[in-house]
Chain A
Amino acid sequence: MIAAAIYAVVQKDLLYAVIATGIISLILSIVFYILQAPDVALTEAAIGVALTTIVFIITIRNTVRMEDESDKNKNIKSAAK
Chain B
Amino acid sequence: MDNTYYDLLTYVVYGSAILVMLIGLYAVLVKKSLLKIVIGLSIVDSGLNLLIVSLGYLKNGTAPIFSKGFFELAADKPMVDPLLQALVLTAIVIGFGVTAVALSLVIRLWRHHHTLYIDEIKNLKW
A residues contacting B by CB (< 8 A) are 1-2, 5-6, 8-9, 14, 17-18, 21, 24-25, 28, 31-32, 35-40, 43-44, 47-48, 51-52, 55-56, 59-60, 62-64, 67, 70-71, 73-74
Contact = CB atoms under 8 A, between A and B. Distances in A.
A21 B43 CA distance: 7
A52 B89 contact: no
Categorize the interface residue count of chain B. Answer: 35 or more
A9 B43 CA distance: 9
A40 B95 CA distance: 13
Given A8-B39, A35-B53, 19 more contacts: A5-B23, A5-B43, A8-B27, A17-B39, A21-B42, A24-B43, A28-B50, A36-B61, A39-B89, A48-B46, A48-B92, A52-B99, A55-B99, A56-B35, A56-B39, A56-B103, A62-B107, A73-B114, A74-B120
